[in-house]
Amino acid sequence: PTPTNTATNTPTYTPTLTPTVTPLPTATRTPTLTPTATTAVQTITIQVNSGADDVNDTGTLPASDTSIWVGNAGTANPAIAGFRFNNITIPKGSTINSAHLEVYSIQSQWQTISFQIAAEAADSSAAFTTSNRPGQRTLAATTVTHSSNVNWNTNTWYSLDEMAPVIQQVTNRTGWQGGNSLSVILHGLNAGTFGRKFVSTFERSATNAVRLVI
């Protein structure tokens, strides 16, 4: 007999699909910047810029003198000196860290002087006139008293007392805004007859007129 080959089944393998994992993108966190408040400290110097803005008030108002005194004029009523400063570029809400007047001595002088330093209680100080003199102005509550007995040399600048609170109470007023005018008024106190010293006015020299440093 002739043998007959019987076919043997060969298994067919069906491949199993392997899923490809696609990684999800990693989120990059962008930090939120918190602004840091910065404080700008600035010094400004304002000088009397008109002959009508530096005056002595003893009941009259001479506005063209080449010198002005600070202290007591030896009169029955204390002598008053008024200094008006214009266009003060201090924004509302500013903090006044320091403030003082600077005066220019026109002669050698050694007298005991005493006076009260105050500011007019006004949002923007009006010009001095014969009907609206420094002595007729309403003063803000905070004042500083100056008292000294030292020699002043000729043609020399001198700084008066620290008075930041005097200026601060004006710039804190509701109606204050940068560019307003401010008047500083000195009331002479009893320090002996004619206890006064003379300083330069705008009429004498614009360069040596009284300065307000803030």
Separation CA 29–CA 82 (nearest Å): 63
Average pLDDT over residues 185-203: 86
pLDDT tens digit sequence for 94-143: 999 999 999 999 999 998 999 999 999 999 999 999 999 999 999 999 99
d(CA 168, CA 100): 12
For the segment 149-173, the average pLDDT, to the nearest whole number, is 97
Give mean pLDDT, residues 196-204.
Answer: 95
CB 154 within 8 Å of CB 108: yes
CA distances from 21 to 14, 18, 24, 25, 191 (A): 22, 9, 9, 12, 97
21-72 pLDDT tens trace: 556 656 566 666 666 656 789 999 999 999 999 999 988 887 678 999 999 8
Measure the CA–CA gap between 129 and 117, rounded to whole angstroms: 20
Q: What's the pLDDT score for residue 12?
A: 57
Q: In terms of Cα–Cα distance, which of 158, 184, 150 is closest to 106?
A: 158
Closest CA to 214 of 156, 152, 171: 171
Q: How many CA atoms lie within 13 A of 125 on its CB side?
A: 31
pLDDT above 90 covers what percent of the chain?
A: 68
Mean pLDDT, the chain, integer: 87
Q: Is the pLDDT assigned to residue 14 strictly greater than 60?
A: no
Which pLDDT score, from 0 to 100, does residue 181 have?
Answer: 98
Kind and range of the H or E run holding 170 = helix 164-171
Q: Is the pLDDT of residue 15 over 60?
A: no
Question: Percent of the chain, pLDDT > 70?
Answer: 78
CA distances to 12, 16, 22, 24, 124 from 19, rounded to whole Å, are 22, 10, 9, 15, 81
